[in-house]
Structure 1
Amino acid sequence: MDVIVRPTPSLQGEFGALSSKNYTTRYLLVAALSEGVSTIYHPAHSEDSDAIRRCIADLGAVLTEDDEKIVIQGFGRKPKDVKELNVGNAGAVLRFLMAVSALSPEVTFVNTYPDSLGKRPHDDLIVSLEQLGVKVEHNEGKLPITIRGGKPVGGRITVSGAVSSQFLSALLFLTPLLEEDSEIIVLDDLKSKVVVGQTLEVLEQAGIVVHAADDYMSFKVPGRQAYAAKTYTVQGDYPGSAAILAAAAVTKSDIKVHRLVEQSKQGERAIVDVLRMMEVPLTHKEGTVHVQGNGVLKAVEFDGDAATDAVLAMVAAAVFAEGTSRFYNVENLRYKECDRITDYLAELTRAGANVEERRDEIIVHGMPEGVEGGVTINAHYDHRVIMALSVVGLRARKPLLIKDAHHVAKSYPQYFDHLRALGANVEWVQ
C-alpha cells in the first residue's frame, strides 16, 4: 500500500513510545537460550520482532503471550533440529540466528526478500563461524545460507566490524555456550559500538559473563556458561520515536512522547541532543520528551555512527534548517535494507531538497522555506526511509506519495496511526 502525506502546519498530542525493537529482539533470544521460563514485559510487535518469535519457536522455544507480556520456555544449548528458517526481512535476526544455528546439525536460511535482505552481505560473520569449525554454504555471502554446525569449537575468533556490529553481537550470544573459552578480536573499525553496549547489557542481565576491552575491540568469553531464566521489561524505542520527534520539530507542535528513558543505552537517544543543537524547544525529564516546535531549526554537524537508526530522521529535520548540516561517519547506512545514503538522498532530491552525498557523509543545504513536493517517492522497501520521508512531506508545499509505505511495519506498524492521531494529514491509498 502507498501513503499520501499532505502539508500539515501543526501537530499536537501525546502517547507512549513504541517498545524497543533492539531490546525486544535481544530479550527474546536470551530467553530462548535459557533452559528455564523467562518473562518479557511490553515486548515490541513488528515484522522484525515477529520474525524472531517465529524462528525461536521453530527452534523449540515455547511462547505464550498476552497483551502485557510474553512467557518463554527456552531450549538452552539444544535447539530443535529444523531444516529451514525464514527471518523475513530482518537482518539482525538473521545474523543472530546464523550464530545460534551453529548449535544445530544443519539449517538453511531462505531468501524471501531478494530485493532487500537478499542483497545484504554476511561474509564477515560467515568467516568467523568457519573459524569455529562450522561449515557454511552461501551465495557469495548472501542468502540463501546453509549452516552446518552441531559442535562449534571456541578459541580465538576474529570478526570484522567494518560493515556491522551485528556480526560481533551474534558471536557474543553464541560463545558463552561453547565448551571452550573464547577470545573475540575485532578487525577494522567497529561500527555502531553503542549497539554492542546494548548486547552486553542484555547478556549481563541474563547472567552471562563477558570481559570486554574498554574500546570493544577485544572480548574474553568464558565457555560452559548457561543463560539464566529471568524477567525483563522492554524500554521505549528511540529509533522509531526519532521520526515522530523530527516531525514535531519541523512543524508548529506541542507533542509529548512518554517511555523514553533519559539514561538509555540506545544510541538513537541522541535525536534529543541533535534537536536541542538545532535549537528546537524541548524538555526531556521523567521519561517524557516534550517538543513545542516552532518550525525554526539551525544547521548541525553530527557523528552519526552512534545513532545509526535515527540519522535519516535527523536529516529530514535538517532539510528545513537554516544553513548547511553535515552527518558524517555514516557509511554503514549503505548496508541496510537499502543504500540509505544514495537511495534516500535520491528521493529527497526528487521531493525538492538540496542534499549531497559522500562515501560516508550526508550534506544537507537547508531550505527553511520548505520543499516543493508533489511527486511520487520510492521508499525502497525501507521502514526508516518511509518514516523520514513522511517528515519531509509534512512541510512540502504539495503532497508526497510514498510507494509501498506498508513496509513501515518492519519496525513500527502503528507509525502512520500515531502521526494521524497527532493531526498529520496522511492517507493510505491502494
Structure 2
Amino acid sequence: MPHAQPRPFSLSTTGPLTGTITVPGDKSISHRSLMFAGLAVGQSRIHGLLEGEDVLASAAAMRAMGADIVRGDDGAWQVSGVGVGGLLQPATALDMGNSGTSTRLLMGLVASHPITVTFTGDASLSQRPMGRVVAPLSRMGADFTCAPGERLPLTMRGLCPAVPISYTLPVASAQVKSAVLLAGLNAPGITRVIEPVPTRDHTERMLRGFGADLTVEDGPEGRIISLRGEAELKPQTITVPGDPSSAAFWMVAASIVPGSDITIRNVGLNATRAGLVTALRMMGADIAEIDARDVGGEPVADLRVRHAPLRAIAVPPDLAPSMIDEYPVLFAAAARAEGRTVARGAEELRVKESDRIAAMAAALSACGARIEEYEDGLAITGTGGEPLPGPRSGGARIATHLDHRIAMSMAVAGLNAARAIEIDDARPIATSYPDFIATAERLGAEAHWPDQ
C-alpha cells in the first residue's frame, strides 16, 4: 500500500447527497476475466476492469504463471493466454495481498497443472481458513502443505491429469464451487459440483462464454453444474459491469441521508448478487432500475436511489448467498431504521477478511446502536431515522481489522452522525474501491483526515 502508516478518516455531510456516479467494475467478474483470458488461446480484451489491489494480485499471479497481461493506453486490458494446461511454474511465491478470491480460485487452476506454487498473503488473509478448498482439491489429486489451521502460507503441488470428482458443497460458497470447476478444466472427464443453495454464478456464465462445455440443471439435491474437462477456451472481449457490492454503499448512503437523490450507472444486477436491493426495498428504500439491459451475458441497469424512511425487517436467510458481502452496510442501514432488524443465516461472515459480525457489532455499539449478536448474524434496533449518536468517548476510532468493507460501511454510517465516526485506517479500501472517498466528495460529502 502507498502509505506505511494507518490513515484515519471520517465522512460527514450537512446536506443531501446528489449526483450521478459510476462504481468500479465488478470484483468477482474482474478476477475471473483475467484468469479465464489467461487460460484462453489467443488475445482477449477486458474493458472496465476493477483496478483495485485484489484484482491486481490476480493479474500479477497470472503473469507469474505465463500469461501476458498489459493495460492499454485506452484503459482496456489485453490478455494473451497460455491455454488450458499451459500454466508455468512461477519463479517465486505468489503474494495474494488481502485477496481470498484470488487465492482460492488460483488454487483451483493450479490443482490440475503439473506445477508447485506457494501462496502468501497479508496478516488478514493469513488468518483466513483455506480448508474448504483444500478438501475437494485434495480429492482431485493436489497435495498441500499449509500453515496450522490450513492457512497461508500454503504450498500446493498440482496433479496432471487430475481426477474429476462429483462434489456437493457443504457450505454455500461461490469460491469453493469455482475452485473445483477451474480444476476440472484440465481434468479428463466430467467434474460436477452440486450446490444445495445457489451462489453467484459468474463462473458458470463466463466459462460458457469462453467456450467451455458446461451445463447447469436442477436436481433433487440442488443445482448441478457439470463441466467437461480438457477444455479449449477461446479469447473474448469482455465489458465488466459495475460492482453491486460497491454500489451498495451509495444505495444505503442515499437511503439514510435526508433529501438525497443519486443515480449509479451500469450496475450489475445478476440475481445471485442482488440480495441487498431486495432487502433494502423490503425496508422501504426507493430504488428504481433505469434502462435495464444485458451486457456480456450479465443483467445491468442504472439505479436511481432517493432518500426514504427505512423500517426494520426480518431479513430472509435465503438472501444470504446473494448479499453476503453487503451485510456490513446492511447493518449500517438497519441502525438507522425504525424498529428491530434481525439479520441471520450469515455465519460465512465470521471467516471473511475479518469476523464481520463481531467487527460490525463492536463498531455500531460504539456509535450508540443497540445490538444483539448471534453466531450467524445480528439484531439491530434502529434510531428511527435519527442520526447515530457517534462514539461516546472523544477520540474513539472504529477498528477496521484491515477489512475494506468494515471501513466503507462505517464511513457511510457516519455520514450525518451526531458526532464524527472516525475510521482507524483508510488504506484497506484500496483493495476494492480506490476512489471511494473521492466519490463521496463528488456526491457532496466531506472527508476529514484528523491526523493530517
Task: Give the alignment partner of residue 342 of structure 1, picking from 342, 350, 358.
Answer: 358
Q: Taking structure 1 as reference, are residues 23 and 301 closer, same or farther at Cα in structure 2, changes over 3 Å only?
A: same
CA distance in structure 2 between the aligned counterparts of 1:108 and 1:240, rounded to whole angstroms: 30
* Counterpart secondary structure, 1:394: coil
Mapping for residues 25-64 of structure 1, pairs under 5 Å: 25-64=31-70
Instruction: Give, as a single letter, the amino acid of the residue that structure 1 aligns with 2:130.
Output: H
The equivalent residue for 2:4 is none
User: Does residue 416 of the first structure (1) align with residue 437 of the second (2)?
Assistant: yes
Q: Taking structure 1 as reference, are residues 268 and 428 closer, same or farther at Cα in structure 2, changes over 3 Å only?
A: farther
CA distance in structure 2 between the aligned counterparts of 1:155 and 1:269, rounded to whole angstroms: 32
Task: Give the alignment partner of residue 391 of structure 1, picking from 409, 412, 422.
Answer: 412
Give, in angstroms, the shift of residue 429 of structure 1.
4.4
User: Does residue 3 of the first structure (1) align with residue 2 of the second (2)?
Assistant: no
Task: Give the alignment partner of residue 115 of structure 2, picking from 88, 102, 105.
Answer: 105
* Counterpart secondary structure, 1:14: strand
* Counterpart secondary structure, 2:185: helix
More moved, 47-56 vs 7-16: 7-16
Contact 1:316 1:389 (C-alpha < 8 Å) held by counterparts: yes
Instruction: Give, as a single letter, the amino acid of the residue that structure 2 aligns with 1:172.
Output: L
Task: Give the alignment partner of residue 379 of structure 1, picking from 397, 400, 416.
Answer: 400
Q: Taking structure 1 as reference, are residues 412 and 266 closer, same or farther at Cα in structure 2, changes over 3 Å only?
A: farther
Give, in angstroms, the shift of residue 298 of structure 1.
1.1
Task: Give the alignment partner of residue 428 of structure 2, picking from 401, 407, 414.
Answer: 407
The equivalent residue for 1:300 is 313
* Counterpart secondary structure, 1:259: strand
CA distance in structure 1 between the aligned counterparts of 2:79 and 2:179, rounded to whole angstroms: 20
Task: Give the alignment partner of residue 230 of structure 1, picking from 232, 236, 251.
Answer: 236
CA distance in structure 2 between the aligned counterparts of 1:151 and 1:343, rounded to whole angstroms: 42
Task: Give the alignment partner of residue 90 of structure 1, picking from 93, 99, 107.
Answer: 99
Contact 2:161 2:186 (C-alpha < 8 Å) held by counterparts: no
The equivalent residue for 2:87 is 79
Give, in angstroms, the shift of residue 382 of structure 1.
0.7
Contact 2:108 2:178 (C-alpha < 8 Å) held by counterparts: no
CA distance in structure 1 between the aligned counterparts of 2:434 and 2:378, rounded to whole angstroms: 27
Q: Taking structure 1 as reference, are residues 255 and 427 closer, same or farther at Cα in structure 2, changes over 3 Å only?
A: same
CA distance in structure 1 between the aligned counterparts of 2:8 and 2:114, rounded to whole angstroms: 41
CA RMSD of superposed structures (Å): 1.9
Contact 2:181 2:191 (C-alpha < 8 Å) held by counterparts: no
More moved, 7-16 vs 414-423: 7-16
Task: Give the alignment partner of residue 267 of structure 1, picking from 251, 272, 282.
Answer: 272
Instruction: Give, as a single letter, the amino acid of the residue that structure 2 aligns with 1:308.
Output: I
CA distance in structure 1 between the aligned counterparts of 2:77 and 2:246, rounded to whole angstroms: 22
Give, in angstroms, the shift of residue 315 of structure 1.
1.5
CA distance in structure 1 between the aligned counterparts of 2:175 and 2:353, rounded to whole angstroms: 14
The equivalent residue for 1:151 is 160
* Counterpart secondary structure, 1:144: strand
Contact 1:9 1:394 (C-alpha < 8 Å) held by counterparts: no
Give, in angstroms, the shift of residue 159 of structure 1.
5.5
Instruction: Give, as a single letter, the amino acid of the residue that structure 1 aligns with 2:330.
Output: M
User: Does residue 359 of the first structure (1) align with residue 375 of the second (2)?
Assistant: yes
Give, in angstroms, the shift of residue 158 of structure 1.
3.1
CA distance in structure 2 between the aligned counterparts of 1:16 and 1:123, rounded to whole angstroms: 36
Q: Taking structure 1 as reference, are residues 101 and 15 closer, same or farther at Cα in structure 2, changes over 3 Å only?
A: same
Aligned residues: 420
User: Does residue 141 of the first structure (1) align with residue 150 of the second (2)?
Assistant: yes
CA distance in structure 2 between the aligned counterparts of 1:353 and 1:7, rounded to whole angstroms: 20
Task: Give the alignment partner of residue 129 of structure 1, picking from 131, 134, 137.
Answer: 137
Q: Taking structure 1 as reference, are residues 184 and 14 closer, same or farther at Cα in structure 2, changes over 3 Å only?
A: closer
CA distance in structure 2 between the aligned counterparts of 1:293 and 1:249, rounded to whole angstroms: 4
CA distance in structure 2 between the aligned counterparts of 1:279 and 1:72, rounded to whole angstroms: 44
Give, in angstroms, the shift of residue 171 of structure 1.
1.2
* Counterpart secondary structure, 2:449: strand
CA distance in structure 2 between the aligned counterparts of 1:164 and 1:44, rounded to whole angstroms: 22
Unpaired runs of 5+ residues, structure 1, are: none
CA distance in structure 1 between the aligned counterparts of 2:49 and 2:19, rounded to whole angstroms: 24
The equivalent residue for 1:289 is 303
Instruction: Give, as a single letter, the amino acid of the residue that structure 2 aligns with 1:306.
Output: S
Mapping for residues 155-170 of structure 1, pairs under 5 Å: 155-158=164-167, 160-162=169-171, 164-170=173-179
Q: Taking structure 1 as reference, are residues 284 and 217 closer, same or farther at Cα in structure 2, changes over 3 Å only?
A: closer
Task: Give the alignment partner of residue 321 of structure 1, picking from 320, 337, 341.
Answer: 337
Task: Give the alignment partner of residue 70 of structure 1, picking from 69, 77, 83.
Answer: 77
CA distance in structure 2 between the aligned counterparts of 1:220 and 1:275, rounded to whole angstroms: 34
Mapping for residues 236-251 of structure 1, pairs under 5 Å: 236-251=242-257
Give, in angstroms, the shift of residue 399 of structure 1.
0.3
Residues 242-290 of structure 1 show CA distances to partners (whole Å, capped at 9, x for unaligned) of: 01110111002011111124xx315343333333222233322112211
Contact 2:404 2:431 (C-alpha < 8 Å) held by counterparts: yes
Give, in angstroms, the shift of residue 157 of structure 1.
4.2
User: Does residue 278 of the first structure (1) align with residue 288 of the second (2)?
Assistant: no
